[in-house]
């Protein structure tokens, strides 16, 4: 009995001994392959503690509520960066410490000075459908409201994405802060209720591949993943516009591990490593040089890397003022409850 | 003399801090206003309780009670005969262990096991298609049917064991006496067995009804858009929407319902 | 004879219903296919992937450590508290003491979890191993207390009195007479607490922290992210582990 106890104490103490170099990160689930984390740990000797972000909002609450810093490096969505900047949670970045910055797709890099965040992946949401089970193909956002899709739709479980979709279907700006516009979008969404089968932001590739949902709104990366296993899946970028987002690295103010944070940012932005993200997880990466490490098939994939003309139609998610945000969240709650 | 009670007193204080105090704070927070940076702040408001009377919330509450009630009903329907049948069979201890195993294994894993069964290309659809009973697969997953099945599957052992225990403690003498007095088997069951088994039934119902409303991961994994139950609502309010006061109000409401149920069951138990 | 057939068929049907999904889960963990439910060929690749998954193994070890210490402390506390109280023969005191554990047992995990979230936040307790330990000890104790009390009631007080009559001190009696008699009950109560802590999802969901990942939450994350059959392999191993624990616990219980 005593032997077991002492063995356990040994194991426990080894877990709680402080590593010299440590990096505590909060990122969205499934955005960084385990292999990159392991490679980073092996190459630099820095121990990485990874937490999954549940939502941008809960991340902010956690960061505010914690007495001392919970994380060193975070990767929230781009439209949250200005919010974090204002609340004094993140620190300005030294562009000289990030050599790959020059190779990033200009569309997603924040040009304002000083730099506060670095995008490493981007994505877009469009309409997907399964050729085998869907007979009328959708072309525009408004088509999803059709009676043909009763109880069939998969919708992303994301306030901004769904409201943007509703706003775009009404030819309004997807980043609108106008209360009339938002109300109109909400009323449109109520009309969509009979068509909705489920909300999901995780497990989307599995749901699409397994054909548990055959039409709806999804992120381009997820659809490409699904297409690897199921060749009946199609994806379109509606002509009237669609949402673009990017995930940005930011370093927490007063972090004790800034050097480790920079090391990780640079490690991920290395073309070879960024290419790994695309290869393994099918996300579009911002580093254009990563394309040198990808097969022509992937580089020419119009879903992952849309051409200039299509990219122009995409609209980046923009930060909103608190009143508009509150309005969106209130309507979203009401919408979810009205199923 | 007093030193004997110090240790239990410490335990009681610990339990008080971590049970009574949170309960008080839960009610307290439900009356405050949410705030994006500091979780809650004054002013005091009853708006969160007003929201509970909102028809939207009411719908969810009704749906939750209905689903929980249905789950309890099916569990009872399946469990009562089962417990009755295993009272006098030969390999009783083996069967008991077989029931205990799901009881002790992770409920999460057992719920996940349902996914492969119910999905579009899942086992049930494959079997039905092979037998030509259907031509297109049934949309079983991500529906309230899936949630109901998942709940019944998870909670059935929780109904079987209390009912079985209740039946085991029925005094054999009463049954023998009734038989001696010339009662038929049906009469014995209706007049002696069934009433005396009620205590076990009530315990079983309690062990199923309340979890059926609060096991939020089951609708999370198996349910669709229309499967939001009270448990999910509370989960959403605390974790995703960060509206702690609203979550606290919903939790308080649920706790009150709970206390009512428990009170009813205790009084019913007293009557027997 | 028809009656017996009906009985046995019904019993078997229910048991089949309870076990079929689990068999399916285990069967798919040996299947050489990512998505299909059709049998392709026998493969241990998912188990290989499982054993190479550092994050997963890490969370498994964490869960074991957490369960061990929570149950240990909870059992220790419960045993001392209950034995001391029961031996005092004060029925009223015992009833009063048992009010709070009863209150805790009735509350659904969800309300407990939310309550812990609030109180741990207010007391500024760091979210991680410590918050989990506190929450797990607290919610395990009522179950352990009731489990021990049930066994104590069967305890023959005469052994205790006889030992005192023979001149032994209270503490000696407690150590050499009461504890050995109760030890099977204590061990099975420890296993009870261990299982409760190891499998807990809902309470842990609210009080876990970033640096201490536990298995149920890792599994929950994997389910929601649409994992590969590696998850099936994990489930198979966990089920095996639970099975072994139950058999040991039942065996010990029989011995008593």
Looking at the fold, whether C26 and C83 belong to one and the same domain comes out as no
**CB-neighbour burial class of residue A198 (10 A; exposed 0-12, middle 13-18, buried 19+):** buried
Q: Percent of chain C, pLDDT > 90? A: 20
pLDDT in tens, A215-245: 999 999 999 989 988 899 999 999 999 999 9
pLDDT in tens, B112-128: 989 889 989 888 999 99
Pick B120's closest partner by Cβ from A58, A211, A338: A211
Residues of chain B with C-beta less than 8 angstroms from the C-beta of A333: 241
Other CB atoms within a 10 A radius of the CB of residue A299 amount to 14
Q: What CA–CA distance (Å, rounded) separates B88 from B168? A: 10
Pick A210's closest partner by Cβ from B59, B121, B240: B121
pLDDT of residue A203: 83
Q: How far is A231 from chain C (nearest CA, A)?
A: 14
State whether residue C199 sits within 8 Å of chain B by CB: yes
The residue of A23, A51, A59, A205 whose CB has the most chain C CBs within 10 angstroms, and thus the best one to mutate to test that interface, is A51
Q: Which chains would you list as touching A if contact means 3+ CB atom pairs under 8 Å?
A: B, C
| CATH code, domain with C199 | 1.10.3720.10
Residues of chain B with C-beta less than 8 angstroms from the C-beta of C11: 82, 85-86, 89, 95
Q: How far is B32 from chain C (nearest CA, A)?
A: 13
Looking at the fold, whether C75 and C180 belong to one and the same domain comes out as yes
Looking at the fold, whether C85 and C27 belong to one and the same domain comes out as no
Q: What CA–CA distance (Å, rounded) separates A284 from A302? A: 11
Give the pLDDT band of residue B1 (cuts 50, 70, 90): very low
Q: How far is B259 from chain A (nearest CA, A)?
A: 26
Pick C225's closest partner by Cβ from A50, A203, A209: A203
The residue of B13, B91, B112, B244 whose CB has the most chain C CBs within 10 angstroms, and thus the best one to mutate to test that interface, is B112
Q: Which chains would you list as touching C if contact means 3+ CB atom pairs under 8 Å?
A: A, B
Q: What CA–CA distance (Å, rounded) separates B163 from B148? A: 21
Tell me if C18 sits within 8 A of B156, measured CB to CB.
Answer: yes
Looking at the fold, whether C19 and C144 belong to one and the same domain comes out as no
pLDDT at C72 over 70: yes
The residue of A4, A202, A281 whose CB has the most chain C CBs within 10 angstroms, and thus the best one to mutate to test that interface, is A202
Residues of chain B with C-beta less than 8 angstroms from the C-beta of C112: 19
CA distances from A63 to A71, A158, A243, A249, A252 (A): 8, 21, 27, 15, 9
Tell me if C111 sits within 8 A of C181, measured CB to CB.
Answer: no
CA-nearest of C21, C31, C62, C46 to C237 is C46
Q: What CA–CA distance (Å, rounded) separates A296 from C183? A: 69
Tell me if B106 sits within 8 A of C242, measured CB to CB.
Answer: yes
Say whether C157 sits in a helix, a strand or coil.
helix
Q: Percent of chain B, pLDDT > 70? A: 94
Residue where a domain stops, chosen among C24, C43, C62: C43
> What's the mean per-residue pLDDT of chain B?
85
Residues of chain A with C-beta less than 8 angstroms from the C-beta of C61: 11, 15
Q: What CA–CA distance (Å, rounded) separates B151 from B161? A: 16
Element at B252 (helix H, strand E): helix B244-271
Strands (E), chain B: 33-35, 39-41
> What's the mean per-residue pLDDT of chain C?
83
CA-nearest of A281, A278, A274, A316 to A300 is A278
Q: Give the mean pLDDT of C169-187.
A: 78
Q: What CA–CA distance (Å, rounded) separates C190 from B15? A: 19
For residue A212, give both structure tokens.
């548990």
Least confident of A182-191, A290-299, B228-237, C240-249: C240-249
Report CA B207 to chain centroid distance, whole Å. 5
Residues of chain C with C-beta less than 8 angstroms from the C-beta of A205: 226
pLDDT of residue A15: 56
Looking at the fold, whether C56 and C126 belong to one and the same domain comes out as yes
pLDDT in tens, A83-141: 888 888 899 999 899 998 889 988 888 888 889 999 999 999 999 999 999 999 999 99
Element at A27 (helix H, strand E): strand A22-28
CA-nearest of C97, C98, C67, C55 to C211 is C55
Residues of chain A with C-beta less than 8 angstroms from the C-beta of B56: 334, 337-338
Tell me if A227 sits within 8 A of A139, measured CB to CB.
Answer: no
Residues of chain A with C-beta less than 8 angstroms from the C-beta of C54: 34, 38
Q: Which of A19-33, A170-184, B170-184 has the highest mean pLDDT?
A: A170-184
Looking at the fold, whether C84 and C4 belong to one and the same domain comes out as no
Q: Which chains would you list as touching B if contact means 3+ CB atom pairs under 8 Å?
A: A, C
Relative to beta strand A73-74, strand A22-28 is parallel
The ipTM estimated for the assembled molecules is 0.84
Looking at the fold, whether C118 and C201 belong to one and the same domain comes out as yes
* Residues 42 through 61 of chain C touching chain A, CB cutoff 8 Å: 53-55, 61
State whether residue C211 sits within 8 Å of chain A by CB: yes
Q: How far is B144 from chain C (nearest CA, A)?
A: 18
Please tell me what DSSP assigns to residue A30.
T
Provide the domain limits for residue C83.
49-255
Q: What CA–CA distance (Å, rounded) separates C215 from C75? A: 22
Q: Could you tell me if residue A105 is left (phi over 0), alpha (psi between -120 and 50 degrees) or otherwise beta? A: beta
φ, ψ dihedrals at C201, nearest 5°: -110, -55
Pick A49's closest partner by Cβ from C62, C129, C210: C210
Domains and CATH numbers, chain A: 20-122+245-306 (3.40.190.10), 123-244+315-337 (3.40.190.10)
Pick C225's closest partner by Cβ from A24, A29, A67: A29
Least confident of A301-310, B25-34, B64-73, B224-233: B25-34
Residues of chain A with C-beta less than 8 angstroms from the C-beta of B228: 336-337, 339
pLDDT of residue B46: 82
* Residues 96 through 155 of chain B touching chain C, CB cutoff 8 Å: 97-102, 104-110, 112-117, 121-123, 126, 153
The residue of B104, B189, B253 whose CB has the most chain C CBs within 10 angstroms, and thus the best one to mutate to test that interface, is B104
A271-281 and A258-269 helices, crossing angle to 10°:
70
pLDDT at C199 over 80: yes
Other CB atoms within a 10 A radius of the CB of residue A92 amount to 14
Residues of chain C with C-beta less than 8 angstroms from the C-beta of A206: 35, 226
Other CB atoms within a 10 A radius of the CB of residue A211 amount to 19
φ, ψ dihedrals at A233, nearest 5°: -85, 130
Looking at the fold, whether C154 and C39 belong to one and the same domain comes out as no
Residues of chain C with C-beta less than 8 angstroms from the C-beta of B105: 22, 199, 238-239, 242-243
Please tell me what DSSP assigns to residue A121.
E
For residue C233, give both structure tokens.
């392999």
State whether residue B52 sits within 8 Å of chain A by CB: no
Give the pLDDT band of residue C125 (cuts 50, 70, 90): confident
Would you give the end-to-end CA distance of chain C in angstroms?
Answer: 37
Give the pLDDT band of residue B3 (cuts 50, 70, 90): low
pLDDT in tens, A248-285: 999 998 888 999 999 999 999 999 999 999 988 888 99
- Dihedral sign for Cα A317, A318, A319, A323, please: negative
- Dihedral sign for Cα A93, A94, A95, A98, please: negative
Q: Give the mean pLDDT of B252-264.
A: 87
State whether residue A3 sits within 8 Å of chain C by CB: no
Identify the residue whose tokens are 């992120």: A219
Give the pLDDT band of residue C131 (cuts 50, 70, 90): very high
Identify the residue whose tokens are 């999804």: A218
State whether residue B226 sits within 8 Å of chain A by CB: yes
Q: Give the mean pLDDT of B59-66.
A: 91
Tell me if B212 sits within 8 A of B159, measured CB to CB.
Answer: no
Chain C residue closest in CA terms to B213:
C108
Yes or no, beta carbons of B239 and A54 under 8 Å apart: yes
Domain total in chain C: 2
What is the reported pTM? 0.85
Domains and CATH numbers, chain B: 46-271 (1.10.3720.10)
Yes or no, beta carbons of B153 and C119 under 8 Å apart: no
Q: Give the mean pLDDT of B145-169.
A: 92
Residues of chain A with C-beta less than 8 angstroms from the C-beta of B60: 337
Looking at the fold, whether C124 and C234 belong to one and the same domain comes out as yes
Residues 6+ apart with CB under 8 A from B231: B64, B213, B214, B215, B216, B219, C110
**Cis peptide bond upstream of B43, omega within 30:** yes
Q: What CA–CA distance (Å, rounded) separates A197 from B226? A: 8
Identify the residue whose tokens are 């032997």: A3
Give the pLDDT band of residue B32 (cuts 50, 70, 90): confident
Looking at the fold, whether C157 and C222 belong to one and the same domain comes out as yes
Looking at the fold, whether C21 and C131 belong to one and the same domain comes out as no
Yes or no, beta carbons of C115 and B22 under 8 Å apart: yes
Tell me if C204 sits within 8 A of C216, measured CB to CB.
Answer: yes
Other CB atoms within a 10 A radius of the CB of residue A15 amount to 14
Looking at the fold, whether C17 and C59 belong to one and the same domain comes out as no
Q: What CA–CA distance (Å, rounded) separates A126 from A165? A: 9
Q: How far is B38 from chain A (nearest CA, A)?
A: 6
Q: How far is C100 from chain A (nearest CA, A)?
A: 31
Give the pLDDT band of residue A8 (cuts 50, 70, 90): low
Q: What CA–CA distance (Å, rounded) separates A74 from A51? A: 9
At CB < 8 A and 24+ separation, what contacts does A285-293 make? Answer: A285/A120, A285/A121, A285/A122, A286/A104, A286/A105, A286/A108, A286/A109, A286/A119, A286/A120, A286/A121, A286/A122, A286/A246, A287/A100, A287/A103, A287/A104, A287/A105, A287/A120, A288/A103, A288/A104, A288/A105, A289/A100, A289/A103
Q: Which of A41-55, B68-82, C166-180 has the highest mean pLDDT?
A: B68-82
CA distances from C18 to B147, B150, B152, B207, C14 (A): 16, 11, 10, 18, 6
Pick B113's closest partner by Cβ from C7, C21, C104: C21
For residue C169, give both structure tokens.
């001190």
Q: Percent of chain A, pLDDT > 70? A: 93
Yes or no, beta carbons of B242 and A57 under 8 Å apart: yes
| Four-point Cα dihedral C105, C111, C114, C116, nearest 10 | -20
pLDDT of residue C99: 80
Tell me if C124 sits within 8 A of C58, measured CB to CB.
Answer: no
Residues of chain C with C-beta less than 8 angstroms from the C-beta of A70: 210
Say whether C128 sits in a helix, a strand or coil.
coil
State whether residue A211 sits within 8 Å of chain B by CB: yes
């Amino acid at each position: 009995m005593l032997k077991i106890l002492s063995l356990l104490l040994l194991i426990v103490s080894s877990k709680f001994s402080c590593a010299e170099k440590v990096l505590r990160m909060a990122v969205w689930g499934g955005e960084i392959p385990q292999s990159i984390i392991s490679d980073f740990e092996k190459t630099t000797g820095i121990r990485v503690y990874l937490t999954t972000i549940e939502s941008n909002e809960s991340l902010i609450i956690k960061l505010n509520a914690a007495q001392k810093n919970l994380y060193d490096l975070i990767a929230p969505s781009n439209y949250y960066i200005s919010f974090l900047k204002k609340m004094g949670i993140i620190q300005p970045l030294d562009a000289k410490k990030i050599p790959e910055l020059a190779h990033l797709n200009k569309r997603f890099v924040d040009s304002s000075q000083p730099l506060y965040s670095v995008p490493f992946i981007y994505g877009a949401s469009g309409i997907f459908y399964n050729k085998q089970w869907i007979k009328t193909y959708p072309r525009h956002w408004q088509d999803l409201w059709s009676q043909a899709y009763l109880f069939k739709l998969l919708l992303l479980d994301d306030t901004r994405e769904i409201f943007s979709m509703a706003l775009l279907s009404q030819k309004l700006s997807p980043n609108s802060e106008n209360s009339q516009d938002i109300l109109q979008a909400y009323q449109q969404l109520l009309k969509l209720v009979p068509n909705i089968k489920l909300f999901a932001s995780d497990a989307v590739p599995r749901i699409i591949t397994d054909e548990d949902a055959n039409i709806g709104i999804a992120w381009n990366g997820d659809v490409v993943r699904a297409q690897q296993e199921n060749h009946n899946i199609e994806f379109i970028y509606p002509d009237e516009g669609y949402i673009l987002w990017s995930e940005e690295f930011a370093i927490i103010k007063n972090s004790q591990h800034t050097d480790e944070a920079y090391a990780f940012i640079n490690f991920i932005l290395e073309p070879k490593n960024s290419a790994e993200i695309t290869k393994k997880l099918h996300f579009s990466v911002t580093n254009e040089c990563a394309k040198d490490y990808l097969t022509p098939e992937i580089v020419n994939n119009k879903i992952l890397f849309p051409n200039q003309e299509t990219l122009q139609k995409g609209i980046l998610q923009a930060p909103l003022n608190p009143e508009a945000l509150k309005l969106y969240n209130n309507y979203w709650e009401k919408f979810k409850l009205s199923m | 003399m007093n030193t004997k009670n110090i240790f239990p007193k410490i335990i009681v204080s610990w339990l008080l801090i971590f049970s009574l105090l949170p309960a008080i704070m839960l009610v307290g927070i439900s009356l405050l206003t949410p705030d994006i940076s500091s979780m809650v702040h004054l002013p005091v408001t009853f708006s969160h309780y007003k929201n509970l009377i909102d028809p939207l919330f009411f719908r969810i509450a009704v749906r939750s009670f209905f689903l929980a009630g249905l789950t309890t009903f099916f569990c009872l329907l399946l469990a009562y005969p089962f417990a009755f049948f295993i009272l006098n069979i030969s390999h009783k201890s083996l069967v008991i262990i077989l029931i205990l195993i799901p009881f002790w294994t992770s409920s999460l894993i057992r719920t996940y096991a349902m996914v492969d069964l119910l999905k579009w290309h899942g086992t049930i659809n494959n079997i039905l298609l092979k037998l030509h009973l259907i031509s297109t697969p049934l949309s079983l997953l991500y529906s309230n049917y899936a949630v109901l099945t998942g709940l019944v599957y998870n909670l059935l052992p929780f109904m079987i064991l209390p009912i079985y225990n209740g039946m085991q403690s029925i005094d054999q003498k009463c049954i023998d006496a009734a038989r001696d007095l010339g009662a038929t088997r049906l009469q014995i069951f209706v007049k002696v067995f069934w009433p005396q088994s009620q205590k076990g039934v009530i315990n079983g119902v309690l062990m199923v009804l309340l979890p059926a409303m609060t096991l939020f991961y089951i609708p999370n994994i198996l349910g669709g858009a229309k499967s939001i139950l009270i448990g999910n609502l509370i989960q959403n309010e605390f974790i995703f929407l960060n509206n702690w006061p609203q979550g606290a109000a919903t939790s308080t409401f649920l706790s009150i319902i709970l206390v009512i149920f428990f009170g009813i069951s205790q009084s019913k138990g007293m009557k027997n | 004879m028809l009656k017996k057939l009906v009985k046995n068929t019904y019993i078997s049907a229910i048991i089949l219903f309870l076990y079929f999904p689990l068999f399916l889960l285990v069967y798919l963990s040996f299947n050489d296919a990512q998505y299909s439910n059709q049998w392709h060929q026998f493969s241990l690749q998912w188990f290989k992937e499982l054993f190479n998954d550092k994050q997963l193994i890490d969370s498994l070890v964490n869960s074991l450590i957490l369960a061990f210490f929570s149950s240990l402390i909870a059992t220790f506390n419960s045993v001392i508290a209950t034995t001391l109280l029961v031996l005092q023969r004060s029925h009223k005191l015992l009833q009063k003491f048992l009010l709070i554990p009863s209150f805790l047992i009735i509350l659904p995990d969800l309300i407990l979890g939310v309550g812990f979230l609030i109180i741990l936040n207010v007391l500024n307790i760091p979210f991680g191993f410590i918050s989990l330990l506190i929450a797990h000890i607290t919610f395990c104790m009522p179950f352990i207390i009731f489990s021990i009390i049930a066994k104590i009631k069967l305890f023959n007080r005469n052994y205790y009195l006889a030992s005192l009559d023979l001149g032994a001190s209270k503490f000696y009696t407690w150590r050499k007479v009461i504890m050995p008699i109760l030890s099977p009950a204590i061990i099975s109560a420890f296993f009870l607490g261990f299982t409760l802590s190891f499998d807990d999802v809902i309470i842990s969901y609210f009080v876990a922290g970033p640096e201490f990942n536990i298995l149920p939450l890792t599994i929950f994350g994997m389910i929601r992210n649409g994992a590969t059959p590696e998850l099936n392999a994990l489930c198979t191993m966990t089920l095996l582990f639970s099975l072994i624990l139950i058999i040991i616990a039942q065996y010990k219980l029989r011995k008593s």
